[in-house]
Amino acid sequence: MARLPVISGEQAIRAFKRDGWLARRRVGSHVIMEKEGFEATLSIPLHRELRPGTLRALIRCAGLTVNEFCRLLKGPLLA
């Protein structure tokens, strides 16, 4: 199992976009992302460093594993 990376909110948004999530709106310091076929939305804080529990919850809510998310951080856009 891959270790949870230490990343910013912007980096997390780029990785989730690679998985097909779309940034729909911004509310204060949070970007709200949605994906077709998912009832859940992701509320990603625009912090310099996301706390591990916050990032893990976002990954789980997106239906990903930590390994899959780490590959999205490094990989090219799929869409």
Structure tokens at 60: 């789980």
Q: How far apart are CA 31 and CA 25, in angstroms?
A: 6
- φ and ψ of 22, to 5 deg: -115, 135
- Overall average pLDDT of the 17-41 stretch: 95
pLDDT (tens digit, 9 = 90+) per residue, 40-70? 999 999 999 999 999 999 999 999 999 999 9
- The pTM score is 0.89
Domains of the chain: 9-73 (3.30.920.30)
Whether the predicted pLDDT of 79 surpasses 50? no
